[in-house]
Amino acid sequence: MTSNTLAGDGPERRAARRETAVRAAVEQGLLSPGEPVVGLLDVTAIRAAAAALRTAFDEVTAPGTAVLHAFAVKAAALVPVLRLLADEGLGCEVASPGELALARAAGVPPERIVLDSPAKTTGELREALAARIAVNADNPEELDRLDALIAPRGDTTPATPHGPVGLRVNPQVGGGSIDALSTATATSKFGIALQDPGVRERVVRAVAERPWLTRLHAHTGSQGIPLELMTAGVRAVYELAEEINETVGHRQIDTLDIGGGLPVNFGSDEFTPGYRDYAQLLLTTVPGLFDGRYGLVTEFGRSLLAKSGTVLARVEYAKSAGGRAIAVTHAGAQLATRTVFAPESWPLRITAYDAAGRPKPTAPGGLVAQDIAGPCCFAGDLVARDRPLPHLAAGDLVGLLDTGAYYFSNHFAYNSLPRPGVYGFTVDGDEVRFATVRPPQTVEEIVTESGGDHAGSLLEV
Ligand SMILES: *Cc1c(COP(=O)(O)O)cnc(C)c1O
């Protein structure tokens, strides 16, 4: 294969790069009997996703519009990933002191960071304001805290210097197919519930009383939310901004943060829906959003990374029980937590390889329905049930596809299983180059995290 056929984006090229990288990961010893599970990230695909996002919004925004695409760090909380995205012009959306520290470690400047969290402490708020990081307040009590930090009531001295401050609203446009990820239901825990009786008036007043409150924010949900529901949420926020600005008589709300949530297709290599689909639908649903009067912030996570990631794991044993073939692998609930606990909502495509990382051929008897099990000690630790695949044997490999977001960095420390190493790759012809994103966690680190330095403490109290 020439480097040309593997460059750029598109489902076939992504799939071809993935297959090349799987073989190389075995050849180069990233995956071995001693390191039986790794995460692989396609650097070319990540760059292509970031470029597609930029282009989609460039196509619909008036020239000169300030647009910040802030990557939702929780989707891939890995410093080199944040640095790569920063190189593509993206910022970071953070929701904890840890995520903020990761964004800073990646060199993302404060004006490209947005802090959203439903439970910010006063200390976190103070630090974010002082660092001129954008903050989105979640609720009226948080606004009261901000009053005290920015412009104490009755104080006539100028407001303390700070970055942009916004208010998160819940447009209550409804939920999608996954309850746990639907943030705009009537009773969601996020933001100010805009359609509750009397709330809209209170929000308009609360903004009017606070000249430093210049943004509105909504994030309508993640995965399982149809595009029409997402755009309805954005439209509700836009209409609120228009009402506020009319009421106060000037353009106090100058920026709208429309959140993330573009759903990912876990069924094939197609990137669908795409950012262009969403941006074009937004343009027809909320044209005023793009006419240059408002700056924009987006907060995509899953859609930027999911299709670039593959978990590769060795089959340690192949067995059978009650007539069902079971492949016991090293990828289970410790990294595919949602897939294991909510398999209907989070199905994953699984590929089968031989021990050298070559696609496993189908035997003459055809595909065999198999359970793909993980290493955790509970019966439900299955990443797929009854899945037709080439019959797997000990030493073979499985790939868990589309796992670049919410799999590598949302580790579940069950059975003290280590966080696997994560490696980024580029493919040039037959040459695959890997870079360490995160080394595998060591057993020593697990002992330390588990109180190893305090072994005798309970004997001494
Ligand atoms: C999780 C989250 C996002 C990202 O959602 P994705 O579905 O990963 O795009 C964006 N904004 C907020 C406030 C979030 O909580």
pLDDT of residue 345: 94
Q: With H, G, I as helix, E, B as strand and everything else as coil, classify residue 20.
A: helix
302 burial (CB, 10 Å; 0-12 / 13-18 / 19+) is: buried
Peptide bond before 273: cis, by omega within 30 degrees of 0? Answer: yes
Q: Is the pLDDT of residue 9 over 90?
A: no
- Answer yes or no: do 328 and 250 share one domain: no
Q: Is 18 in the pocket of ligand 1 (CB under 6 A)?
A: no
Q: Are residues 319 and 272 in the same domain?
A: no
Cβ pair 150, 159 in contact under 8 A = yes
460 in any annotated domain = no
Measure 114 CA to ligand 1 centroid, in angstroms: 12
Ligand 1 nearest-atom number relative to CA 136: 13
Instruction: Report the distance separating Cα 26 and Cα 63, nearest Å.
Output: 48
- For residues 150 and 3, the model is more confident at 150
Pocket test for ligand 1, best of 190, 219, 237, 300 (most atoms within 8 A of CB): 219
Q: Which domain holds residue 368?
A: 307-449
Residues 337, 282 share a domain: no
The burial of 63, by beta-carbon neighbours within 10 Å (0-12 exposed, 13-18 middle, 19 or more buried), is given as: exposed
* Claim to verify: residue 237 and residue 344 sit in the same structural domain: no
Tell me, yes or no, whether 133 lies in a domain. yes
CA 389 to chain centre: 29
Q: Is residue 30 part of a domain?
A: no
How many domains does the chain fold into? 2
Q: Is the CB of 299 under 6 A from ligand 1?
A: yes
Q: What is the DSSP letter of 442?
A: P
Last residue of a domain, one of 237, 270, 298: 298
Does the beta carbon of 142 sit less than 6 angstroms from any atom of ligand 1?
no
Model confidence pLDDT, tens digit, residues 176-197: 777 777 777 888 888 999 999 9
14 lines ligand 1 (CB under 6 A): no
- Does residue 328 share a domain with residue 258? no
CA of 81 to the centre of ligand 1 (A): 16
Q: What is the CATH number of the domain that holds 382?
A: 2.40.37.10
**Single residue among 234, 269, 298 that ends a domain in this structure:** 298
Residue 4 lies in a domain: no
Determine if ligand 1 sits within 6 Å of the CB of residue 170. Answer: no
- How many C-alpha atoms does 137 have within 13 Å on its Cβ side? 29
- Dihedral sign computed on CA atoms, order 25, 266, 269, 398: positive
DSSP string across 319-351: EEETTEEEEEES-STTTSHHHHHSTTTS---EE
Nearest residue by C-alpha to atom 1 in ligand 1: 72
Q: Is 101 part of a structural domain of the chain?
A: no
168: Cβ below 6 Å to ligand 1? Answer: no
Same domain, yes or no: 199 and 280: yes
* Reported confidence tier of residue 3, pLDDT bands at 50, 70, 90: very low
Longest CA–CA separation in the chain, Å: 83
* Residues 234 and 317 both lie in one domain: no
Same domain, 130 and 254: yes
Does residue 63 fall inside a structural domain? Answer: no
Listed residues 257, 278, 298: the one ending a domain: 298
Q: What's the rounded mean pLDDT across residues 253-277?
A: 96
Digit-coded pLDDT (tens) for 90-117? 999 999 999 999 999 999 999 999 999 9
Q: Is the beta carbon of 42 within 6 A of some atom in ligand 1?
A: no
The response to whether residue 301 sits with its C-beta less than 6 Å from ligand 1 reads: yes
Calpha distance 448→445 (Å, rounded): 5
Pair (121, 168) in one structural domain: yes
| pTM metric for this prediction | 0.96
Tokens of 85: 């995205």
Cβ 47 under 6 angstroms from ligand 1: no
CATH code for the domain in which residue 276 is found:
3.20.20.10
Radius of gyration of the chain (CA): 24
